[in-house]
Structure 1
Amino acid sequence: MRRISRRYHYITLVVLCIVYCTFFIAISYAASFNVPEKFIYDLTWTGIKAGTASLELINDRNKIKIISTAKSARWVSVFYTVDDRAESTLIKNENNPPESPHSPLWKRGAEGDFKGGKGGFSGESLSIGKPVNYRLKIREGRHRKDKEVIFDLSNSKATYINHLENEKKEFDVPAFVFDPISSFYYLRTLRLVVGESVYVTIFDSKKVWNVEVQVLRREKVTLPIGTFDTIVIKPLMKSEGIFYRKGDIYIWLTDDIKHIPVKLQTKVAVGHITATLIQGNY
């Protein structure tokens, strides 16, 4: 059960995501996201409800906050409580940012359709927010974690703080780097082409990782809240963050400009864990 619960944590971060994807968050919300935006997910283990997860995007003056939570169901909490919270804070960038060195962004065509290209949104470039703070608090059974990263991207620095062990250390990072939570929103702005991969740089677990996200296929999925045309992606991550290194995670995004994460799934020692969107404001 401990192994299952740990994997449960990682998939919730993608959804929070939670766990469990890695990039700068693009803040062209008029084109891609609504603010506020909130998703609520059922987490099931081989068809049995094991908990809930949420992912929320809110405005805070000149900042954007992304808040993700994951909690175990009552029956799970009897023997293994999960109560996790992750928060990423970004500063809005009012100027046109440089493009990601990794992947093309979307372009809006003359008729409002979206086409792939390397120049971002035609007529309206994406405005990308810079991560300034990332905080992760984990309570899983007896396991506790409280870590924080303070980004100073103007000087290409990141300060890692472990609040439980009184550890503090500064690291060099690229100017274009992401925390695990904001990375997922950047992913949602990218042009995803079946058969191709996109790449992103993330700082997590006191290391800088270059993450590949494979774009696998298109698929129609039916959920309790409706039927969606989706595009299925598979992130390949080696850190302990949103893309856990020991198990494949599959994410179903709506096949449109919003790329709403409607479903996530990962295998565990016995069965699989699935996160399913049950309601949201988007």
Structure 2
Amino acid sequence: MKKTTLVSLSLFWSLALTLGAWAAQPLPVPERLEYEVHWSGIKAGSAVQEVTPRNGELHLVYTVRSSGLVNTFFPIDDRSESVLTRGSGDEPFGMPRLFRERINEGKTHTNKEALFDLQQLKVETKDFLKHTEKTDSITPKTFDTLSCIYFIRSAELEPGKPVHMEVYDLKRLWNAEVRVVRREELRTPVGKFKTIVVRPVLTAEGQQPRTDYMTVWLSDDSRRIPVKLVVKLKVGEFRATLSGGSHWP
């Protein structure tokens, strides 16, 4: 299993979620969503996505851990955290203030932190393992690779109408077009869902465009719960399916 497997999962939680217009429907807080993770038909582990209020801010946490056979030859222990400032008006969840990412996948290890300055339109990123720092430019609507999910879940999605936004992944700023593909009914370990299917197209200066490598199913209701994710890999396929948690009927 490649490092891009679980990193792609984290990245798309951002890509699928910042699609433009804000809706008045509030999302449930606190919330916990649990997922079964499979790689090419083999159970690879589990993932948990949580949001909790704390000191007037929202804390989003996403974790992935391997199990079984995969844990033997490719152990995974990943954690991402995003802190959102208090929002108001048309932006009820605010904007990212802090993002942390710790990746442990096989022999690959990452420990980074990003501080967002929306006044100066800058983000300062620290790499704690390489002992480096850098500053990148951002836009007024830049999100990290975790916080975006809670924005897209408040958006109006219609098949055939793409939505655009920017996502900062601790390396560069991506221009993302999220294509709303179709509506589809889906069965999961926690029941049957009517869903809306979305796919991202990512572009960045000097980078090869990334297309048709990821598909996400969101519940077709006001909550927009990420129900299923499929990532195409050079070897096999990565799949995460909702299996438990809270805040759905």
TM-score by length of 1: 0.79
Cα distance in 2 between the residues matched to 1:77 and 1:20: 28
Is 1:89 the counterpart of 2:75 in the alignment? no
Unaligned residue ranges in structure 2 (runs of 5+): none
What does 1:130-209 correspond to in 2, within 5 Å?
A: 130-209=95-174
Q: How many residues are treated as equivalent by the alignment? A: 243
Unaligned residue ranges in structure 1 (runs of 5+): 97-124
Is 1:228 the counterpart of 2:193 in the alignment? yes
CA 1:11–1:279 in 2, change beyond 3 Å: closer, same or farther?
A: farther
Larger Rg over CA atoms: 1
2:200–2:212: 8 Å Cα contact kept in structure 1?
A: no
- Tell me which of 50, 53, 72 is aligned to 1:59: 53
Identity %: 33
Is 1:21 the counterpart of 2:8 in the alignment? no
The one-letter code sitting in structure 2 at the alignment partner of 1:5 is K
Shift of 1:7: 3.7
Q: Secondary structure at the match of 1:154?
A: coil
The one-letter code sitting in structure 2 at the alignment partner of 1:49 is K
Query: In the TM superposition, what whole-angstrom CA distance separates every residue of 1:135-174 from its partner, at most 9, and x where no partner exists?
Result: 0000011111111110111221210111111111222221
Which residue of the partner structure matches residue 252 of structure 1? 217
Which residue of the partner structure matches residue 2 of structure 2? 5
Shift of 1:222: 1.0
CA 1:211–1:20 in 2, change beyond 3 Å: closer, same or farther?
A: closer
The one-letter code sitting in structure 2 at the alignment partner of 1:162 is D
Shift of 1:85: 0.4
TM-score by length of 2: 0.89
The alignment's C-alpha RMSD in Å is 2.4
Cα distance in 2 between the residues matched to 1:23 and 1:168: 27
Query: In the TM superposition, what whole-angstrom CA distance separates every residue of 1:81-108 from its partner, at most 9, and x where no partner exists?
Result: 1110000001112x32xxxxxxxxxxxx
Cα distance in 1 between the residues matched to 2:96 and 2:62: 16
What does 1:10-49 correspond to in 2, within 5 Å?
A: 10-13=7-10, 17=13, 21=16, 23=18, 31-49=25-43
CA 1:86–1:24 in 2, change beyond 3 Å: closer, same or farther?
A: farther
Is 1:262 the counterpart of 2:219 in the alignment? no
Which residue of the partner structure matches residue 211 of structure 1? 176
Shift of 1:205: 3.7
Shift of 1:126: 4.5
Q: Secondary structure at the match of 2:119?
A: helix
2:217–2:229: 8 Å Cα contact kept in structure 1?
A: yes
